[in-house]
Amino acid sequence: MILELLKADITEVEVDAIVNAANTSLLGGGGVDGAIHRKGGKAILDECVQIRNKQGGCKTGEAVITTAGNLPSQYVIHTVGPVWNGDKEEKSKLLADCYKNSLNLAVENGIKTIAFPNISTGIYHFPKDKAAEIAVKAVKDFERISEIEKVLFVCFDDENYQIYKNIL
Residues that bind ligand ADP (CB under 6 A): 9-11, 21, 31-33, 35, 81, 117-124, 154, 156-157, 160
CB of residue 146 vs ligand ADP: minimum separation in angstroms? Answer: 27
Identity of the residue, 36 or 111, whose beta carbon is nearer to ligand ADP in the bound complex: 36
CB of residue 133 vs ligand ADP: minimum separation in angstroms? Answer: 15
Q: How far apart are CA 77 and CA 54, in angstroms?
A: 17
> Which residue is catalytic, options 9, 16, 33, 158?
33
By CB atoms closer than 10 A (0-12, 13-18, 19+), residue 90 is exposed
Identity of the residue, 8 or 147, whose beta carbon is nearer to ligand ADP in the bound complex: 8
Identity of the residue, 75 or 156, whose beta carbon is nearer to ligand ADP in the bound complex: 156
CB of residue 139 vs ligand ADP: minimum separation in angstroms? Answer: 16
By CB atoms closer than 10 A (0-12, 13-18, 19+), residue 6 is middle
Residue 16 a catalytic site member: no
Going from the C-alpha of 111 to that of each of 54, 76, 143, 150, 166, the distances in angstroms are 24, 11, 15, 10, 28
Percentages (nearest 5) of helix, strand, coil residues in the chain: 45, 20, 35
Annotated active-site positions, please? 33
